[in-house]
Structure 1
Amino acid sequence: MGRLWRREFWRLTALVGAGGLVGWPFSAMPAGIAVGLLMCLAFHLRQLRALYQWLTLRPQEEPPVASGLWGELFDRLYRYQKRQALTQKRLRATLQRIQESSEAMRDSVVMLDRHGDLEWWNSAAERMLGLKPQLDRGQHITNLLRDPRFVDYFHGRDYREPLTLPSPIDETLILQFQITLYGDDERLVMARDITRLHRLEQMRRDFVANVSHELRTPLTVLAGYLETYEDMAGQLPPRMGRGLSQMKAQTDRMQNLVNDLLLLSRLEIDQGGRDDAPLAMGDLLEAVKNDAAALSEGRQSISVEIDEARALVGSEKEIRSALSNLAFNAVRYAGKDRHIVLRWRPHGEGACLEVEDDGEGIDPIHLPRLTERFYRVDKGRSTATGGTGLGLAIVKHVLLRHAGRLEISSRPGQGATFRCLFPAERLRDTTPNAQRA
């Protein structure tokens, strides 16, 4: 490139020098130099015109023939043009493959801009959501999906968990929505048809609820007769007395299991919770502490700590059930001579209901599955302690009904902490000044 610039410089010098020499005999040396400069300018203007016509009128053709610096410029622009054309071709092919693969998907895919307006969607979105290519492009997503739950989900910007809703055009079609943020605050909305899974889950719930309900009557009859026979235990042979005790223990265990199954079914079916009221957390924790102490029979020490003045708004029966399950689990599994703390404390803008023990702890490999129904870390020990395997599942569903979530932290030999986290909107200030305000 430096050689070409030097060549252009010497060409300009030669033209100017030649013009000066031609004008010198006529005492018009400046005019000769000006003519030389005009000739140089005309040459460059001619090449510039050729470049303009090539780029605007014939961009697909080969560049004009030129030498020197202009020839090098034409060649470089032509090579750059070819590379850009090849890149654009590859991008178009990639976009075409993406669109074809999206069209082949059975799930709805909707692309939104940073304002939430519709940019593109596949044909599955037209079938599931009723989007129309000619009418809906550029519309805000909440103008078309108007369910308040979706609107809250969209504006809440917490997309860690999917949202299950019926289709806006067919209520028998159950969809699972998942939103993903990408790019410059743009969103990708995916909707999956889970109607079949939803029906299977509903059948499972109905089956469990019906079977549990049907088991209640015979178990009640059996327990009643066993209590009667226990009152007559002195008149029975010792072997029969031991058998009655075992039958009574197993009947009580079965009744507890049925009660937990019925409670879990009700929590799954009824997602509302219409009996919400501010709870006296100090009294609630003290009541659960007394129940846990009775179960412990002196094997552990149990204390209560209240560091949060606000009250939790919720169902006292359900919150007590969740807290009791956590406290009873700590009593059953922490071990002898351990300390258990029931705590109500602030957590960020919200609050935390916490059960902590310094017992044997849990291997972290088990933590993700602890809230599954009937999952047991140690099956033999859990059966011996009388647990049903449904306690943490009940806790999980109670928290879902109260906009809360469960966090578990534990390591072997370092105890375990179960935290029930509640948002600020589930709390109420019960101080006299706040009530007068």
Structure 2
Amino acid sequence: MYSNTSTVLLYKRLLFVLLASGFIGWLFDIFWPAIAISSIALLIWHYHHLVQLAHWLWQSKSINPPHASGTWGRIYDGLFHVLNKQRKKQKQLRHRIRQFRDGAEALPDAAVVLSDDFIIEWSNKKAQNLLGIVCPGDVGQRIDNLIRNPEFTRVLYQQAFEAPFHIDSPLKEDTTLELRIMTYGVDQYLLVARDVSKLNRLETMRRDFVANVSHELKTPLTVMRGYIEMIQAPGNNFDEHWLTVFATIEGQVTRMDRLVEQLLILSKVENNATYDETYRVNLSDLVTNIVKECHWLNQDKQHKITSDIAPDIYISGIETELKSACTNLISNAIAYTPAQGDIQVSLEQVKQSMGMGVKFTVKDNGSGIKPEHVNRITERFYRIDKSRSRNTGGSGLGLSIVKHVLQHHNAELVINSQWGVGSEFSIIFSSTSVIQ
């Protein structure tokens, strides 16, 4: 049984031994020899137990400590108690490590634990199949010595870990990997990789399908529009009923033609995901012209459109895409703001951490957007109110086009809306896109 060893008790026992040996020596007139003999005996006894302790700690394979009584018995019991606690903690730690490794091995993705200087510390078996990293053979090597890819090296060098990125598989052709690096533990990183080749192929098939169908629909819609215009030409005498029917057909053809046009724009923007050729765009002149062109959309509702556009703002980008994004935001404000409403368009420079950025804003006092819809309105064909969108001719593609355009221009879409009060859509361009 473990018990504390009192310092006072030790000194009392030592004093008792010395007094007893001194008393016996005094009786036989050998006081100092008796003291010396008892001291040497104590020293030999303690050294004997020290040797036993060292042997038990460093050489013996036995878990149980040497048998002893008195002070050394308490010391052995205390050490045995501490060692038992340590063994239990180690056992729990090993169990947790096994649980972690079993969980990591069960992941469908490759997982690699890196040190703060990107040295491999551990990886699961999936990492061998996707990245060619073998544990424990590759432990201790820098990750960029094994994954030689320019995009991967750039991300490591710039520590741009905010978003996932894609690289070609170092092992298999026609295989694309999505990688994400995140902080993990203390001074560590976790690299997670997964095969997205099948998803990319499906996405490519979807884009091709939309593009092909849109192109195929363009011609018959043009033919239908031509025949309807011929039927509605002056001089054709039709009953009022048929005039209403032809007007309805014309409206639906116009709506479908607008939808096809939006699909073609979206397809073009999506297919330009890797388009690198950008130009110097005068954003101030572009927005000014868009506001002027949008006035014809405002003939029925007669909104009050005001603009505050800072002059001589230039950014690096694709002019056609930027025009499409800005036009969509202004068109949406016109479509979903009640008649005689106020629409404010502004373009200004804003201060950012890395320099001066640019902010394009369209603000209206329409019905606004409920909070549950804000995060989804950039999805394809997502409509807040289907009947309202149908009446205004909305396709549900405008904000999706804006989102894809901004991805090409290192920009973000910020939406501030209050239900029943109005909405504010802002495009914020990073300072890296601004040309001074």
| Fold conserved between structures, TM > 0.5 | yes
* Equivalent pair of 2:120/2:141 in contact (CA under 8 Å): yes
Counterpart CA distance in 2 for 1:93 and 1:203 is 47
From the superposition, tell whether residues 262 and 28 of structure 1 become closer, same or farther in structure 2 (CA, over 3 Å): same
Which residue does the alignment assign to 1:292?
A: 294
Q: Is the 1:16–1:34 Cα contact (8 Å) retained in structure 2?
A: no
1:316 alignment counterpart? 319
> What corresponds to 1:268 in structure 2?
270
**Counterpart amino acid of 1:389?**
G
Alignment match, 1:369: 376
Choose 290-299 or 194-203, whichever is displaced more: 290-299
Residue 43 (structure 1) shift? 3.3
CA contact (8 A) 2:269 2:321 kept: no
- In structure 2, how many angstroms separate the alpha carbons of the residues matched to 1:233 and 1:314? 50
Give the drift of 1:293.
Answer: 2.9
- Give the CA deviation at 1:23: 5.2
**What is the aligned-residue RMSD (CA, Å)?**
2.6
Residues 342 and 354 of structure 1 are in contact (CA less than 8 Å); yes or no, is this contact kept in structure 2?
Answer: yes
CA deviation string 1:154-195 (max 9, x = no partner): 444444432233312213223222222111231111222232
Mapped to 1, the partners of 2:137 and 2:5 lie a distance apart of 61
| Range with greater deviation from structure 2 (215-224 or 304-313) | 304-313
Match of 2:361? 354
Stretch moving more, 252-261 or 138-147: 138-147
Structure 1 residues 12-411: aligned runs within 5 Å: 12-22=14-24, 24=26, 33=35, 36-58=38-60, 60-133=62-135, 136-232=138-234, 235-297=237-299, 299-306=302-309, 310-345=313-348, 346-348=350-352, 349=354, 350-411=357-418
Letter in 1 for 2:315: L
CA distance 1:326–1:233, change in 2 (3 Å):
farther
Query: Which amino acid is 1:299 matched to?
Result: Q
**Residues 319-352 of structure 1: CA distance to partner in whole angstroms, max 9, x if unpaired?**
1110111111111113233322222231524332
Code of the aligned partner of 2:316: V
Q: Bigger shift: 313-322 or 136-145?
A: 136-145
1:434 aligned residue: none
Q: What secondary structure sits across from 1:231 in the alignment?
A: coil
Verify: 1:416 aligned to 2:416, yes or no.
no
TM-score, normalised to structure 1's length? 0.89
Q: 1:142 and 1:172, CA in 2 relative to 1: closer, same or farther beyond 3 A?
A: same
SS at match of 2:116: coil
C-alpha contact 1:117 1:140 (8 A) present in aligned 2:
yes
Do the aligned partners of 2:127 and 2:134 also contact (CA within 8 Å) in 1?
A: no
Aligned partner letter, 2:346? R
Aligned residues of 1:4 and 1:69 also touching (Cα < 8 A): no
Looking at structure 2, the residues matched to 60 and 273 of structure 1 have their Cα atoms a distance apart, in angstroms, of 70
Q: Provide the secondary structure at the position in 1 that maps to 2:415.
A: strand
Contact 1:8 1:68 survives alignment (8 Å): no
For residues 135 and 276 of structure 2, the distance between their equivalents in structure 1, rounded to whole angstroms, comes to: 42
The answer to whether the 8 A contact 2:284-2:312 is kept is: no
SS of aligned partner of 2:360: strand
SS in 2 for 1:366: helix
State how far apart, in whole Å, the 2-side matches of 1:284 and 1:263 are: 18
Name stretches of at least 5 consecutive residues in structure 2 with no aligned partner.
none
Please state how far the C-alpha of 1:2 moved relative to its aligned partner. 6.8
- Aligned residues: percent identity? 36
Q: Distance in 2 between matches of 1:53 and 1:420?
A: 75
- Listed as ranges, the gaps of 5+ residues in structure 1 are 430-437
Q: State the distance in 2 between where 1:210 and 1:197 align.
A: 20
Find the aligned partners of 1:321 and 1:20 in 2 and give their Cα distance: 107
Whichever residue aligns with residue 379 of structure 2, its letter is: E
Q: Judge conservation of contact 2:5–2:74 (CA < 8 Å) in 1.
A: no
C-alpha distance in structure 2 between counterparts of 1:61 and 1:369, whole Å: 64
Distance across 1 between alignment mates of 2:402 and 2:126: 37
Of residues 310-319 and 15-24 in structure 1, the stretch that sits farther from structure 2 once superposed is 15-24
Task: Name which of structure 1's ranges 101-110 and 372-381 shifts more when overlaid on structure 2.
Answer: 101-110
- Quote the Cα distance in structure 2 between the aligned partners of 1:416 and 1:285: 19
The worse-fitting range, judged by mean Cα deviation, of 115-124 and 207-216 is 115-124
Contact persistence 1:7–1:68 (CA under 8 A) = no
Q: For each residue in 1:187-227, what CA deviation from the matched residue of structure 2 results, as whole angstroms up to 9, or x when unmatched? A: 11122223222222221111111110101111112222223
Question: What is the CA distance between 1:278 and its match in structure 2?
Answer: 2.4
Residue 65 and residue 353 in structure 1: after superposition, are their counterparts in 2 closer, same or farther (change >3 A)? same
Deviations 1:63-102 (A, max 9, x none): 1222333222211211221222232223223323433343
Any idea what the Cα deviations from partners look like across 1:248-306, whole Å, max 9, x if unmatched? 22222111111111111121122133452222222122122223332223532222234
| CA distance in 1 between partners of 2:310 and 2:75 (Å) | 76
Residue 39 of structure 1, CA deviation: 4.0
The 1-side partners of 2:345 and 2:378 are apart by 20
Question: Cα distance, 1:391 vs. partner?
Answer: 0.2
User: How many pairs align?
Assistant: 429
C-alpha contact (below 8 Å) 1:233/1:241 kept by paired residues? no
Distance of 2:423 and 2:361 partners within structure 1: 10
Deviates most, 386-395 or 34-43: 34-43
For 2:381 and 2:351, locate their aligned partners in 1 and report how far apart those are by CA, in whole Å: 30
CA contact under 8 A between 2:284 and 2:314: conserved in structure 1?
no
Q: Distance in 1 between matches of 2:309 and 2:154?
A: 33
